[in-house]
Amino acid sequence: MNTILVTGATGNVGRPLVTELVNAGADVRAVTRRPESADFPAGVKAVDSAAAGLAGATAVFLNSRALAGELDAVVAAARRGGVTRLVALSAINADDDYSRQPSRFRGDRNKEVEQRAVDSGLEWVSLRPSVFASNFAGMWAGQIRAGDVVSGPYATASTAPIADADIADVAAHALLTDSLVGHKVPLTGPRALTNTELVEILGTALGRPLRYLEVAPEVVRQRFLALGFPAEFADAYIALLSTTVDTPALVTDNVARILGRPATTFAQWAAGHAALFTGPRHG
């Protein structure tokens, strides 16, 4: 039986990954800061640190934000302890300059987690997803609850958002089969969508018209600062979006090719997660 340690097990990718692995018959150890109150499927062993779950593990899913400063120590311990495979959660823009990687300023270490896996001497896979579909709930839900307009930079900037559960499904495939070993795998949704199109799709899912209002980048920057985000995050977010104003975001077919089914569209994701955007409206 495969014994798999999942770091970031309560996150938007980690939680469905744990369920997928359990359904596939794996022995799963799930890392969470609160193992006593964790709500995982039956049979999952909840542990409060990666170190506590490594003994006897055959594979590890590495989430750099969840591991924070423990990344190097966990990879070294995995190598010493007989782990045979590491699957790293990186990002599609891991090779970009850090000034265009906003998630870096929220704790992600996409380049480093990939490189540690590659250099480990173990079997490795690096998953490089595009923007998570769930990120739009964090960015836009407040504005949508307050009214029918979402404001932000660059109305024609595009992304190819990927459903978090699709990332989890590919991660399970990487942990349980050999087909992706030694590969860096870019993962996207099936279509590049502009900010305008994304907001219109959310409006359809919510049953009311929404529109995107382009505002100056400096206005967006000040909004992030007022919310407590570091200036580096705001600048990187704006710089990242600016690169797709004239060139559509990269789209790959890897989700469909790996899983043997179509990637989840943003419209499908929005229809299934409309509750993330609903709530009391003001004004």
What gap in Å lies between CA 8 and CA 63, rounded to an integer?
Answer: 6
Backbone angles phi, psi at 123, to 5 degrees: -60, 140
- As a whole number of angstroms, the distance between CA 58 and CA 168 comes to 18
Q: What is the sign of the dihedral through the CA atoms of 58, 62, 67 and 73?
A: positive
Cα–Cα distance for residue pair 198/136, rounded to 1 Å: 9
What are residue 213's phi and psi, to 5 degrees? Answer: -115, 115
CATH fold, domain 3-130+164-188+250-263, is Rossmann fold (3.40.50)
d(CA 222, CA 149): 18
Pair 265, 190: CB distance under 8 Å: yes
**How far from chain centre, in Å, is Cα 273?**
16
Instruction: Express each pLDDT in 23-36 by its tens digit.
Output: 999 999 999 988 88
Confidence category of residue 207, pLDDT binned at 50, 70, 90: very high
Q: Which helix (H) or strand (E) holds 80?
A: helix 71-81
The CA distances from residue 39 to 21, 31, 217, in Å, are: 15, 12, 41
pLDDT-based confidence at residue 280 (cuts at 50, 70, 90): low
Question: If you average pLDDT over every residue of the chain, what do you get?
Answer: 95
Task: Tell me how crowded residue 170 is: count the other CB atoms within 10 A of its CB.
Answer: 26
Q: In which band, very low, low, confident or very high, does the pLDDT at 282 lie, cut at 50, 70 and 90?
A: very low
Q: How confident is the model over 128-136, as a mean pLDDT?
A: 97
Using DSSP's 3-state secondary structure scheme, residue 50 falls into helix
Buried b (16+ CB within 10 A) or exposed e, 46-69: bbeebbebbeebbbbbbbbbbbee
Average pLDDT of span 197-221: 97
**CA 41, 15, 118: angle at the middle one, nearest 5?**
120
| pLDDT tens digits along 151-172 | 999 999 999 999 999 999 999 9
pLDDT at res. 283: 39
User: What is d(CA 254, CA 25) in angstroms, rounded to the nearest whole number?
Assistant: 25
128 bridge partner residues: 186
Q: What is the mean pLDDT of residues 251-260?
A: 98
Q: Which two tokens stand for residue 22?
A: 């359990």
* 87: phi then psi, degrees, rounded to nearest 5: -115, 115
Phi, psi dihedral angles at 194 (to 5 degrees)? -75, 165
| Three-state secondary structure of 155-221 | CCCEECCECHHHHHHHHHHHHHCCCCCCEEEEECCCCCEEHHHHHHHHHHHHCCCCEEEECCHHHHH
Q: Where are the domains of the chain?
A: 3-130+164-188+250-263
Distance CA 113, CA 108 (A): 9
- Per cent of the chain over pLDDT 90 is 92
Name the token pair of 132: 């998570």
The two tokens of residue 204 are 């359809």
Bigger pLDDT: 282 or 97? Answer: 97
